[in-house]
Amino acid sequence: MTTTATPSATSPLTASDLDAMVRSHLPLVGHLVREMLGRLPAHVSREDLVSAGMAALAGAAKSFDPERGIPFGSFATTRIRGALLDELRGLDWASRSVRSRARRVETTQQELTAALGRTPTPAELAETLGITVDELKAIDDDVQRAVVLSLQGFTVGTAEDLVPERTAGPEDLILHRERIGYLHHAVNALPDRLRHVVTAYFFDERSMNDIAADLGVTESRISQLRAEALVLLRDGLNNHLDPELAGPRLRPEGCVARRRAAYYTQIAAQGNLTTRLALTTPLGLPRSP
């Protein structure tokens, strides 16, 4: 029987050895990319990740030293995962300064909503913040992709935050799946118009112009509804999962407070732990419709 020779621990790797090593480990790149994509939103490019992984595999082969006694597969896996995370860091468009401005806008919007008893107009919000309406829109545009990550993957942060540790225990996985279930239930509990905007914009990836045509309103109004829905979603989820992070307490007798309380109750009424976990597989991946 003919066997393929492998480099000995004392023999330098030849160009032929390197080529054979890379070729035999090409499936490893595909496996690691698939593993990572399962935890990422759909807009992340598979081709970009594969390209970064292939380059890392080739680089790993060139720097591999068999005398260290480490299997090439393990060595390459570490290099490829690092390259994939570097690629995701390049997509981390929501810098700290952008997130800081977004938090300031959200806090101000909540305070104005409580004071006015309605969602403030962009002009009112911009005036309170001391910026122009165009500057307010620019902040909103900067964070939209980060918001998509939050809605689809329930994560906001750096590239490392997008890919959970592979060593996460069963309890962490259950909590992750419960959060995703709460998110779905929170979306379903939104008022009809807000639910339509969230579903169409974030999940169906339709333009605000199309959604405005559906509802017979302006794009500016759709932007307001989207912002209102995101505040409701965040506070609704925090109310059930992280009460200490919930928005500022409103006067319990106020109409805004009553609407919020009714919304929180609707989220809970959407189901229980069993139905929330049923929305994902045991590994935390979305179930097919």
pLDDT level of residue 281 (50, 70, 90 thresholds): confident
Q: Rounded CA gap, 149 and 162, in Å?
A: 9
**Per-residue pLDDT reduced to its tens digit, 32-48:** 888 887 766 555 678 88
Q: What is the mean pLDDT of residues 174-192?
A: 87
pLDDT at residue 279, as a whole number: 83
Q: Rounded CA gap, 43 and 30, in Å?
A: 18
Choose between 186 and 150: higher pLDDT: 186
**Per-residue pLDDT reduced to its tens digit, 208-259:** 889 999 999 998 899 899 888 888 888 888 888 776 665 555 555 667 778 8
**Phi, psi (rounded to 5 degrees) for 286:** -60, 140
**Per-residue pLDDT reduced to its tens digit, 117-159:** 778 888 888 888 888 888 888 777 666 655 444 444 444 444 4
- Of the listed ranges 109-113, 252-256, 258-262, the least confidently predicted one is 252-256
Task: Report the DSSP beta bridge partners of residue 180.
Answer: none
pLDDT level of residue 206 (50, 70, 90 thresholds): confident
pLDDT at residue 99, as a whole number: 66
pLDDT at residue 215, as a whole number: 92
Choose between 54 and 174: higher pLDDT: 54
pLDDT at residue 137, as a whole number: 83
pLDDT at residue 251, as a whole number: 58
pLDDT at residue 166, as a whole number: 47
| Mean pLDDT value across the chain | 76
Angle at 202 between CA 123 and CA 128, to 5 degrees: 15
Give the tokens for residue 47: 């081709």
One-letter amino acid for residue 32 of the chain: L
Q: What is the mean pLDDT of residues 69-96?
A: 77
